[in-house]
Every structure is written in structure tokens, then in C-alpha cells.
Structure 1
Amino acid sequence: MSIQVQEIACREGNIGLITLDSPATLNALSASMIRETQAVLDQWAEADHISLVIFRGAGERAFCAGGNIRELYGALSGDEDPDAPAEFFASEYRLDYTIHRFPKPVIAIGHGVVMGGGLGIFSACRYRLVTPDVTLAMPEITIGLFPDVGASWFLNRLPGRIGLFMGLTGARLNVSDVLRVGLADMAILPDQVDSLIERLKEERWTGESAADDNRLFRLVKQLEHPDYRALPTSELARHEQDIARLSAGDELPAIVENLLAAEIDSDWWQGCVNNLRNGCPVTAWLVWTQLKKAQQMSLKDVFRMEYTMAARCTRRPDLREGIRARLIDKDHKPAWSFPTVRDVPDAVVEEHFEPELNDSNDPMALR
């Protein structure tokens, strides 16, 4: 099974509940899951009886660990349809954009692993709730992709250069980190999830977006919060000054060298830096460039830019090699196309951003 879909009756109106249901893969998004979710949301957007939507993940370990990379690897390795990998990204980004622009309130309840494509869905929701066990990350540098699913949008909105640092290092954020930088709105206890749904069922939802939003906001704020003093210490709070100091400047190679050379005694920091040290040099340039270009872009154009980037990545060797080394052969020794950031030609970076898409040539048909 890929997703579970429920329509839950309230005193008035209905809740649409979508459960990502592939616990064995940490609810990683397959092409079929994306298609099914898109079809449901398209229907619910026009359905008068659906007043709000909730996303959650099945099992105890994850909301969603990202796209199904093994499935993508099969598409990258096949000879039958060279456009299939790009079509996967087009469908995924269309879904994320739909959630961002959905005409009714959408709640995400993130627990466990929330990474890559899972963070794309989570970040697109209007209300983003997390449980204390959550771990968020955009770890694409480890497989030769780039932080996508709208990351050019939401990483740019983090304070300082934390978004750049996350993209370059695949940094894993705990619940305190996530709340600190605004990637989630509030933490709730795991046993509050069912209580929230029960509370929502007791309400009369009018279908009027502003009124329903106000009522929903009040209900969410009334939930029991965990004792924030008992949550894990924020690694970002500990290292924000290091990140700001080492990531300053206008030259990516110098920033990368600064991060790699820093002598900071922290297991969390060393894990981040090792991802950068062993990660794809082309990805580092894509992170740097996409965040700069996206600063003045609309959300629609962000997804169009990321689609162009992803389509180009599917035609270069690094993505396939990164997935092979990390998930297929698991030797963790990828042979990247360039050995260091300084070795990557400008032309290789620039080709990931051409052509520029618009309303007339957009394969995602974003409107």
C-alpha cells in the first residue's frame, strides 16, 4: 500500500486525512504515491464537503524520508525511457506546489525522519507540527542531487546562512533546531495527534477559509505542548556563530575550505562536515547558485528552476553514482565527476539552469 485516504466527518464539514503508508521504506515517495496523492488533492480542492486536510506518516520511524531513491535509480539505469526520471521530479514538484497553493488549511504532523521529499511536503503545509523525536534534513549532497522540492524557497527564508549550511552539509536538525529556525510551527506530544483529530471532529467547519483558519489556529494553540526544557539541546544554537563566521563571503570554494578546516569539537558538527567532505562538488555549486538565483523568484519560478536542475542531474553521472555508492552497493565511495569544488567548471554549473521555463514550456503545467 502507498497511501491511505480517509474522509472524517465533523459536526459540520469533513477532514481529509492522507497517511503516507510505506513504513518499510520510511514512507519514501514512490511515483505511484505521488500520483495518488495529487489525484486526491485535486478532488478535495473542489469538494465542498472537505474543509481541511491533514498529512501524516504511518509507522513509528518516519513521516517521510524523501523520494524513493531506489526506484529513481532503476529509472536512471534503464534504457527504455530516458525521460522517466525527469517525469518523476515533475510530478513531485507539481504535488509540492499544489500543497503550497491549496485553497483549504493543510496540517502536517511530522515525526521521526522528515527529509528530502518529505520536507518538501511538510514545508508546503500551512500548519507544521512536529513530535519531539523529529529529525529534519536535506541530505542531497550525499547522492549528487541538490536540495529540491522547493528548498530554494524555504532554505532562503532561514536566518543567516543556515540554509546554505544545511544544503552544503546535509545537517540533521532536531526538534529544538527546527523550532528555532521556523521550519516547524510547534511541537506536540505523540499522544496529542489523535486528540487533535478528535478535537477537530467536534467543530463546525464552514468552508470559509478565513474563519476555518482562525478556528484551527485556536485549536492547535490549545494542544498540550511538551516541556521545552526537556527537549534536546539545539545544535544550531550552539553552532550558529560558527556557521555565520565560516560561511561568510562571496566565494564558495573559500567557504567550503573554511568549513572543512574548522577545528570544532562536536560530533554533530563533524557529521555535517564529513557529509560536505565526501559529498558531490557539483552539488555544492548547485546549492550556492540556486539560493542566489531564488532570492527574487516567485514560488512558481522556484519550482521551474528546480525542475530544470533536476532534469539536468538525471542526464549527468553524479546522481546515479551517488545513489549507487550510498544505497545500492553501499561502499560509500562515490567517484564524483570532479574531485573538488574548485575543479568544477562554470559551464557545468550554468547548464543546470538552462533553459528557463515559463507558462509556454513548463512540463509541470504550474498555474
Structure 2
Amino acid sequence: MENEVIFSVSDGGAAIITLNRPKALNSLSTQMLKPIGEKLKEWQANDQIHLIILRGAGEKGFCAGGDIKTLYEARSSQVASKNAEVFFEEEYQVDMDIYHYPKPIIACLDGIVMGGGVGLTYGASHRIVTERTKWAMPEMNIGFFPDVGAAYFLNKTPGYVGYYLALTASVIQAADVLFANGADSYMTSDNLQKFLGRVEQTDWHAQETNTALKQLIETYSSKSLGNSKLASIQNEIDQHFSKFTVEEIVESLDNDPSKFSHETKQLLLSKSPSSLKITLKQLIDARYKTLEECFATDLILAKNFLKHNDFFEGVRSVVIDKDRNPQYIYKSLAEFTDDEMKKFFQDNNETVTK
């Protein structure tokens, strides 16, 4: 089997991690995450490595997230369920390592960057979007919740934009990713390739890395980017998504005759009621949490979702059968009570669903 992750090092001291599952949009597996974590530790201790490039193979994108088909198998046996738990443990640890990494990490957000792909890139020191970027936390579409530290970083967006992105699973492009603090620089995809070529050809041993890298990024970056759509609707987003319950958000949208409110309400009501309510509580609870505390909550939630029928039904409808017609157990917000919601935030809980 071809290597699912390719590691290489230039003569000048640039190390490259290439996610190499292009046919699967570079979706992450445990077999990919473990060596990435090990290699990051090895390169951190190596004085000959000055910076890291994180990119995806193929033409379509960096990473579409976790390997959902594998996670779907978690319902088939205890072994498969344990393997799914290990996947989340490995994934979250690598994500945290990237946040704390002492050397520059250049993350190439070219093409599709979703879910676990966002988790891998958000903590990188230099995050570059292109005109091809399609960024999302799409977990609401499969009856899951935005994990990989999303409660931490979605609270870093202007106003309540992060809440809107989480609950609607909206796909956004370069200008909006920059506005939402999910990236730092914009390059055309052609310039990104030229920039990466320069990074690999540069002798990083002979200069101050951070200064030289900043100059190089400025050389290839472009300012000719359209205005953020999110910025133009932030007032509406803040008006509705500042509520403390999903029911209040829906009611607020319902009382507003605008096209935005109507479409957003319909979008919310198409999602899993349990996912919506858990996600809003997750985001509100995380406002004053540390990164590590957010990831600890993610792990508890992820393990409990692996026992939740509506998660598997969401995956079935989108990834397995692709009928886009999930038959959730909890069919309305009222059916999923606060007491049931609280169970998802409890560690080592065995029964979280009907």
C-alpha cells in the first residue's frame, strides 16, 4: 500500500508533511496521525530542521477531515469502537502539538479544508488560503459535533460568526476564512506552488528563519481579494446567534422576515436536533476554557457520540447510502431534553441515547 503520509526534508532544512490519500480527499486515519505525531517530535529535536510545510497531495484539497467510513464501523464491535476512540485521541494530540510547536509550520489551505483538516491547520503559525479554498466544520451534516478544538477556535471569530459556522456547517472561501481568523495570508494557488518551491530551495541554516519566512510570504501574497461575505452579515449573525438555546435562535430567526433569516432557519432545522443542542452548549461552555480543556471536552463528547444512534444515522445518510434523508431518533429540539444533553458531557457514560 502506498504511503498515506509522505515525509521529506530539503537540503536547506525545510521538512515537508504531505497527506497522501488524494482519492479520499486526504481523509485522516489513525495510520496517518501516529507517524505525523512521531515525526513532529523528531523534527522538533533536530536542529537541522528549521520549519515545517503541511500540505495535501492531489488537485482537490488539503484534507476533507477524518475517515468517516472507518468511524462508522465503530457500531459493529467493541474492537472497532475502541479503534475509533484511539483515532480521536491521536488526532487531538497531533492538533495540540501543532498549536504548541516551537518551529514555524506553514499550512497550505488549498482546496478542500474541512473538519479534521481544519484541526490540523488552525494551530499552525503560518496559514495560507487560496482562491480554491473551501473551508468548513461540516460535522452538523452527519449528526456529530465540531471537534478538533473547534469550541476553542470558533470562539476566536468576530462576534458570533463561529457559532453560525458551527451550527449551519457553512462552507466558506478565502476572504471569509481570513475574516474568521482561520488563516493569515492569501496567495493564488499558482503563487503558493512558487512560494513552496522557494521555501524548499532556501538555505534556512544561513539566516534567521522567522524574518526570512515573513519576507518570503509577503513576496508571494496577494492583497487583491474580494470582501468577506461573513463580514457583511455579521450584524444579522450576532443578532440571532447570541442566544443561549437553539430554540431561542430559531425563534429569533423566525421573527425576522429577511431572506437570510428564512434560509438560515431552514438550514438549522435540517440538522440533527441533538447535535445542534450539544454544539451550542459546547461553544458557550468553552468561552473561558483553555485549549487543553476544550480538547478534553471534545474527547468526552466524541466517545459518547460513538454510542449515539443519531450519529451513525447521519453518517449513513451522507457517506454510506448517500440518500441525504436521515431518520433521526430525536426529530425535534423539544424531544432532546437538557437532561439527555448533559449526559454527553459526562465521562465514562455508557448510555447516552434512547
| TM score, norm. by length of structure 1 | 0.88
- Structure 2 counterpart of 1:49: 48
Deviations 1:125-172 (A, max 9, x none): 111001111111111111111110010111000011111111110011
- Structure 2 counterpart of 1:100: 99
Structural mapping, 1:40-79, within 5 Å: 40-79=39-78
Structural mapping, 1:301-312, within 5 Å: 301-312=293-304
Shift of 1:118: 0.4
Provide closer, same or farther for how the CA distance between residues 274 and 39 of structure 1 changes in structure 2, counting only shifts above 3 A.
farther
Q: Would you say the 8 A contact 2:250–2:265 is kept in 1?
A: no
State the alpha-carbon separation in 2 of the partners of residues 69 and 260 from structure 1: 34
Provide closer, same or farther for how the CA distance between residues 102 and 237 of structure 1 changes in structure 2, counting only shifts above 3 A.
same
Among 4, 7, 10, which residue is 2:6 paired with? 4
Secondary structure of 1:9's counterpart equals: coil
Shift of 1:263: 4.3
Shift of 1:236: 1.0
Provide closer, same or farther for how the CA distance between residues 263 and 215 of structure 1 changes in structure 2, counting only shifts above 3 A.
same
Among 213, 216, 240, which residue is 1:216 paired with? 213
State the alpha-carbon separation in 1 of the partners of residues 53 and 15 from structure 2: 6
Provide closer, same or farther for how the CA distance between residues 27 and 259 of structure 1 changes in structure 2, counting only shifts above 3 A.
farther
Provide closer, same or farther for how the CA distance between residues 328 and 166 of structure 1 changes in structure 2, counting only shifts above 3 A.
same
Structural mapping, 1:249-328, within 5 Å: 249-259=243-253, 262-265=256-259, 270=263, 273-328=265-320
Q: Which moved more, 1:215-224 or 1:85-94?
A: 215-224
State the alpha-carbon separation in 2 of the partners of residues 114 and 260 from structure 1: 32
Secondary structure of 2:214's counterpart equals: helix
Secondary structure of 1:172's counterpart equals: coil
Letter in 1 for 2:73: G
Deviations 1:243-281 (A, max 9, x none): 112223333311033336654436x983x5544221111
What is the percentage of aligned positions where both structures have the same residue? 31
State the alpha-carbon separation in 2 of the partners of residues 262 and 326 from structure 1: 31
Letter in 2 for 1:47: N
State the alpha-carbon separation in 2 of the partners of residues 226 and 274 from structure 1: 35
Secondary structure of 2:27's counterpart equals: coil
Q: Would you say the 8 A contact 2:27–2:63 is kept in 1?
A: yes
- Structure 1 counterpart of 2:114: 115
| TM score, norm. by length of structure 2 | 0.91
* 1:346 and 2:343 matched: no
Letter in 2 for 1:29: L
Equivalenced residue count is 346
Letter in 1 for 2:7: V
Provide closer, same or farther for how the CA distance between residues 116 and 47 of structure 1 changes in structure 2, counting only shifts above 3 A.
same
Secondary structure of 2:14's counterpart equals: strand
Shift of 1:42: 2.0
- Structure 2 counterpart of 1:239: 233
Q: Would you say the 8 A contact 1:129–1:185 is kept in 2?
A: yes
Unaligned runs of 5+ in 1: 357-367
State the alpha-carbon separation in 2 of the partners of residues 68 and 166 from structure 1: 21
Shift of 1:235: 2.4
Q: Would you say the 8 A contact 1:76–1:85 is kept in 2?
A: no
Provide closer, same or farther for how the CA distance between residues 306 and 207 of structure 1 changes in structure 2, counting only shifts above 3 A.
farther
Letter in 2 for 1:299: L
Q: Which moved more, 1:65-74 or 1:337-346?
A: 337-346
Letter in 2 for 1:105: P
Q: Calculate the aligned-residue CA RMSD, in Å.
A: 2.2
Shift of 1:342: 2.6
Provide closer, same or farther for how the CA distance between residues 344 and 132 of structure 1 changes in structure 2, counting only shifts above 3 A.
same
Secondary structure of 1:104's counterpart equals: coil
State the alpha-carbon separation in 2 of the partners of residues 134 and 82 from structure 1: 33
Provide closer, same or farther for how the CA distance between residues 69 and 238 of structure 1 changes in structure 2, counting only shifts above 3 A.
same
State the alpha-carbon separation in 1 of the partners of residues 255 and 34 from structure 2: 44
Letter in 2 for 1:352: F
Q: Would you say the 8 A contact 1:317–1:337 is kept in 2?
A: yes
Q: Which moved more, 1:331-340 or 1:48-57?
A: 331-340
Shift of 1:184: 0.9
State the alpha-carbon separation in 2 of the partners of residues 207 and 101 from structure 1: 25
Shift of 1:16: 0.8
Unaligned runs of 5+ in 2: 349-354
Provide closer, same or farther for how the CA distance between residues 330 and 203 of structure 1 changes in structure 2, counting only shifts above 3 A.
closer
Structural mapping, 1:152-163, within 5 Å: 152-163=151-162
Q: Would you say the 8 A contact 1:142–1:275 is kept in 2?
A: no
Q: Would you say the 8 A contact 1:135–1:175 is kept in 2?
A: yes
State the alpha-carbon separation in 1 of the partners of residues 174 and 45 from structure 2: 35
Shift of 1:203: 4.1
Q: Which moved more, 1:252-261 or 1:93-102?
A: 252-261
Q: Would you say the 8 A contact 1:169–1:273 is kept in 2?
A: no
Shift of 1:80: 3.6
State the alpha-carbon separation in 1 of the partners of residues 325 and 206 from structure 2: 53
